[in-house]
Amino acid sequence: MSDPSSINGGSVVAMTGKDCVAIACDLRLGMQSITVSNDFPKIFNYDNAYLGLTGLATDVTTLSEVFRYKVNLYDLREERKIEPETFANLVASTLYEKRFGPYFVGPIVAGINSKTGRPFICGFDLIGCLTYAKDFVVAGTANDQLFGMCESLWEPNLEPEDLFETISQALMNAQDRDALSGCGALVYVITKDKVVKRMLKTRQD
């Protein structure tokens, strides 16, 4: 029992395309070498914003509930849906509040701003350092593998169908090289008018 961010395993990746974004996660929940569940999704949605959370499973669940609470209150006070950029700042400040006793997570936010139509992705570290990216963001135990796959497969201005293929191959091949990620994958492709959620057929080991 040492590094909290690699006890349960899991990885998430997000990419931008032409007027679309995609975010994908694996489905494994483990306890070190033992696989506990192959149906543990790590992507949650709040209005326009999609949040991917890797790391310690208890903190993934706790934070998904904390953000549901905060976004519900935002909706009631503001009388409008939260935008991805605003949600990202909410994530950053929530994490920094626990600066000296942090949540052991690697979050990613993805979405399309409903007013400007601009695709948005960003990543954070466990204490809320925001890193914006134009191309892709990665997180989880297959972090390094995902960087390699994304750097080689990604190109700008991919249409939604092509972005789906690209992000799927990036995640599938990266998680196959990581012992603690895998057991299935979920991919969300988000455009202005619809969101398509697909489950990938992957190796179950």
Partner 1 sequence: MDIVLGITTKDAVLIATSMAAVRGVSILKTDDDKTRIVAPHTLIAFTGEAGDTVQFAEYAQANIQLHGMRNEVELSTSAISSFIRSELANSLRSRKPYQVNLLVAGYDVTESMPKLYYVDYLAAKAEVPYTAHGYAAFYVSSLLDRWHRRDISMEEGIKIMNMCIAELRTRLPIDFKGIQVKAVDKDGIRTLDL
Q: Which of residues 95-124 bind partner 1 (CB under 8 A)?
A: 101
Determine which residue in the list 45, 58, 94, 173 makes contact with partner 1, applying CB under 8 A: 58
Is 72 near partner 1 (CB under 8 A)?
Answer: no
Question: Shortest CA distance to 25 belongs to which of 204, 205, 197?
Answer: 197
Q: Measured from the CB of residue 12, what is the shortest distance to partner 1 in angstroms?
A: 17
Determine which residue in the list 6, 7, 120, 181 makes contact with partner 1, applying CB under 8 A: 7
Is 76 near partner 1 (CB under 8 A)?
Answer: no
Dist CA 138 CA 140 (whole Å): 7
Q: Measured from the CB of residue 8, what is the shortest distance to partner 1 in angstroms?
A: 6
Q: Measured from the CB of residue 82, what is the shortest distance to partner 1 in angstroms?
A: 24
DSSP structural state of residue 141 = T
**Residues 148 and 174 sit within 8 Å (Cβ to Cβ):** yes
Is 56 near partner 1 (CB under 8 A)?
Answer: yes
Nearer to partner 1, 100 or 193 (CB): 100
Q: Could you give the string, one character per residue 123-162, with x where binding to partner 1 holds by CB under 8 A and - elsewhere?
A: ----------------------------------------
Q: Could you write out the DSSP letters of every residue in 47-107?
A: TTEEEEEEE-HHHHHHHHHHHHHHHHHHHHHHSSPPPHHHHHHHHHHHHHTTTTS---EEE
Question: Shortest CA distance to 120 belongs to which of 129, 108, 130, 111?
Answer: 111
* Residue entry with tokens 């909290």: 4
Is 57 near partner 1 (CB under 8 A)?
Answer: yes
Q: Measured from the CB of residue 62, what is the shortest distance to partner 1 in angstroms?
A: 5
- Beta partners for residue 196, in sequence order: 189
Dist CA 189 CA 197 (whole Å): 7
Residues that bind partner 1 in the complex, under the rule CB under 8 A:
7-8, 29, 31, 34-37, 39-40, 56-58, 61-62, 101
